[in-house]
């Protein structure tokens, strides 16, 4: 059973890295996060320069000192990491769109089932490979934050918290994309769905002003971003991990049901 899942996962992995899309997506993500981190660091350097300049002497700061809350954690790390999630949302549907839809369009999904694989094994292997890709994507983009962490004395545990959060968040978005891909034979439709659903779920701020406070509170509980905030600040909260794991599970379950329904029809 595990052997079949692993064999399919290996095949999926080969297929993923044989196509240029994985590299294009990786390039886009690494470049986006690198540029964004750079911009924050430059702004921070300028802020330090302003604080340390003589112009502020006598306005509450001793010359040459900077308030301790102006630091690399608050000014660079947290704001940049808060937005890294958005970049995952930009690139991941490009990878997930083809995973099931391509098989369905080519009719190769029938082949998978006739080879003795069960739908849950197919869904598990495809989800696992995509999560692995998310992990690789995050690892490639970790260099900049790691350097800053090492130089600022934030501690590498902090980086672990951030990347656990990013991995949870990325897997949740990938799961939604995979579920969308499993329900259609069109990669375009899968991509549009894979962008739309997480984007709408991202943050219900656009809706909360028009509904009652009670409904708004419930919507905030559902929003993806409201569950991500603790990780960049170095805290892993069990409830947030359960939330993202729950979404990933629902994505996998939806893919499984889609495969079952397709087979039944």
Residue ranges in 214-233 that form contacts with another protein under rule CB under 8 A: 221, 229-230, 233
Closest CA to 160 of 248, 80, 232: 232
* Under rule CB under 8 A, residue 254 binds another protein: yes
* Under rule CB under 8 A, residue 90 binds another protein: no
Stretch that binds another protein, among 32-40, 109-117, 124-132, 169-177 (CB under 8 A): 32-40
Residue ranges in 184-203 that form contacts with another protein under rule CB under 8 A: 186, 188-189, 192-193, 195-196, 199-200, 202-203
Q: How far is the CB of 172 from another protein (least distance, A)?
A: 11
Q: How far is the CB of 131 from another protein (least distance, A)?
A: 17
Q: How far is the CB of 2 from another protein (least distance, A)?
A: 22
- Selected from 106, 155, 211, 215, the binder of another protein by CB under 8 A is 155
- Applying CB under 8 A, the site for another protein has a residue count of 88
SS3 assignment, position 61:
strand
Provide Rg for the chain, Cα atoms.
22
* Under rule CB under 8 A, residue 160 binds another protein: yes
Closest CA to 245 of 235, 257, 237, 233: 237
What's the rounded Cα separation, in Å, for the pair 210 and 32?
A: 33
- Distances from the Cα of 207 to the Cα of 124, 134, 211, 216, 225, angstroms: 34, 30, 7, 8, 15
Q: Which is nearer to another protein, 128 or 241 (CB)?
A: 241
- Selected from 6, 10, 11, 38, the binder of another protein by CB under 8 A is 38
**Structure tokens that stand for 257 in this block:** 């049901």
* Under rule CB under 8 A, residue 71 binds another protein: yes
Q: Which is nearer to another protein, 3 or 264 (CB)?
A: 264
Estimate to the nearest angstrom the gap between the alpha carbon of 245 and the chain centroid: 13
Q: How far is the CB of 108 from another protein (least distance, A)?
A: 17
- Distances from the Cα of 5 to the Cα of 83, 102, 122, 129, 178, angstroms: 34, 19, 7, 10, 17
What's the rounded Cα separation, in Å, for the pair 119 and 262?
A: 10
- Selected from 6, 111, 139, 143, the binder of another protein by CB under 8 A is 143
Q: Are 119 and 252 in contact (CB under 8 A)?
A: no
Q: Which is nearer to another protein, 116 or 213 (CB)?
A: 213
What's the rounded Cα separation, in Å, for the pair 37 and 79?
A: 9
Q: How far is the CB of 6 from another protein (least distance, A)?
A: 22
* Under rule CB under 8 A, residue 249 binds another protein: yes
Helices 78-106/238-264 angle, 10° precision: 10
**Structure tokens that stand for 141 in this block:** 């983009």
Q: How far is the CB of 219 from another protein (least distance, A)?
A: 13
Q: Which is nearer to another protein, 3 or 141 (CB)?
A: 141
Task: Quote the DSSP letter at residue 56.
Answer: G
């Amino acid at each position: 059973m595990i052997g079949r899942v692993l064999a399919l996962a290996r095949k999926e992995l080969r297929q993923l890295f044989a196509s240029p899309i994985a590299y294009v997506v990786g390039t886009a993500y690494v470049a986006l996060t690198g540029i964004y981190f750079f911009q924050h660091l430059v702004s921070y350097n300028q802020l330090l320069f302003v604080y340390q300049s003589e112009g502020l002497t006598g306005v509450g700061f001793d010359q040459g000192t900077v308030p301790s809350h102006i630091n690399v954690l608050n000014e660079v790390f947290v704001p940049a990491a808060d937005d890294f999630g958005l970049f995952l949302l930009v690139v991941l549907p490009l990878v997930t769109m083809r995973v099931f839809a391509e098989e369905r369009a080519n009719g190769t999904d029938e082949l998978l089932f006739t080879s003795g694989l069960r739908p849950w094994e197919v869904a598990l292997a495809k989800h696992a490979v995509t999560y692995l890709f998310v992990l690789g994507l995050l690892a490639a983009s970790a260099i900049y934050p790691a350097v800053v962490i090492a130089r600022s004395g934030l501690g590498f545990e902090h980086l672990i918290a951030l990347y656990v959060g990013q991995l949870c968040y990325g897997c949740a978005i990938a799961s939604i994309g995979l579920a969308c891909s499993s329900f259609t034979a069109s990669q375009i439709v899968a991509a549009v769905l894979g962008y739309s659903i997480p984007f709408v779920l991202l943050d219900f701020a656009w809706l909360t002003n028009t509904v009652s406070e009670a409904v708004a509170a419930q919507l905030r509980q559902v929003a993806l971003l409201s569950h991500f905030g603790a990780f960049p600040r170095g805290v892993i909260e069990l409830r947030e991990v359960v939330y993202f794991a729950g979404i990933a599970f629902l994505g996998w379950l939806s893919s499984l049901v889609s495969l079952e329904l397709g087979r039944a029809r």
